[in-house]
Amino acid sequence: MPPRRPDGPPTPPPVARVRLRFAKRGRLRFLSQLDIARTFERGLRRARIPMAYSAGFTPHPKVSWVGGAAPTGAASEAEYVELGLAADVDPEALRAALDAALPPGLDLLACVPAEGSIADRIDGSHWRIRLPGVTETELSRAVAALLARDSVEVERKTKNGPRPVDVRAAVICAVCRAELPDCAILDVVVRHTTPAVRPDDVLTALGVVAVPPLTFPVPPEPTRLEQGLIRADGTLADPLIPNDSDTGRSAGRLPA
C-alpha cells in the first residue's frame, strides 16, 4: 500500500534565504543545541518572521544549522544558522526583530542574504580558552610539547564506546599569554574534523604531553571567537563575506 500523502498542493520553495551569525553568552552557554533550536523557533514565531515551511503532515520552519555547534558549556561569538523565508525581508530589520524576541545571551550579530554554500566557507574554528589557576609558563611548556609532536591522541567517549581522536592533527596554531599571574589564556585554531576536536580535547592533550603534567584546578572557560576557512597564515576568513581573502593579515598571527 503506498504511503499516505498530505492533501493540497506542494509547499512552495523559499522566496529568499538569509544567513545569521549569533552569539551564545553568559548562562545560556549551558543550553544544548536542541534547546537553542527550540528557542529560535519560538523567537521566530514571536518576531513574526515570514518563514517558509517544509512539506508533510508536521511542517517545520526551514531552519538550517551550519557547522558544528559549540559544545554545551562553551560560549561562542560565531554560531551560524540559515533561514528559508516565504517573503523578502530586509536583513537588518529581520536581525533586529528576531534579536528582540530571543532571550539575552542569544544575541544576533549579523544577518546577510545567503549566497552559495556556507559549508564551503567553514573548515576551522578559533577558540580562546581562559585557564584560571594556570600560569603562562605552565601553559607555554605544554603548548610547546604539543606542537612538537606529529600526533597526540586522546580518548573520546561516544555512544558507541571510546574513540581515539588525534588532537595534534587538528591544531593549526596555538598561542598563549597571561591575563593575570595565575590565569593563562590559550588561543588555538583547530581544523574541523570527524569527530570534531573540542576545547576539552585540546586541554586533555596538553595535560598528557606536559612534563610535569598540566592540571586545571578551576574549570576552563572556552569561547569560540570565529569560524571560517583557514588561511595559509592560520587566520580565518569571514564566512559572511564571499570574497574574503588573505589581504592585511600577518603570517603566523592568530585573529584578535
Give the global pTM. 0.90
Which of the listed residues 91, 115, 139 is the one where a domain comes to its end? 115
Claim to verify: residue 132 and residue 228 sit in the same structural domain: yes
Nearest 5°: phi and psi at 213?
A: -55, 140
Provide block-wise average pLDDT over 10 residues at a time, the chain (256 residues).
57 91 98 96 97 85 92 97 97 98 98 92 97 97 97 87 92 96 97 93 96 94 97 95 61 49
Q: What angle do CA 106, 188, 215 make, to 5 degrees?
A: 95
Cell, residue 52: 517558509
Whole-number Cα distances in Å, 47 to 41, 102, 107: 10, 9, 14
Residue 228 sits in a domain of what CATH number?
Answer: 3.30.70
pLDDT at 44: 98
In a domain, residue 255? The reply is: no
What's the CATH code of the domain at 91? 3.30.70.580
- On whether residue 4 sits in a domain, the answer given is no
Domain count, the chain: 2
Which pLDDT score is estimated for 250? 39
Q: Is residue 247 part of a domain?
A: no
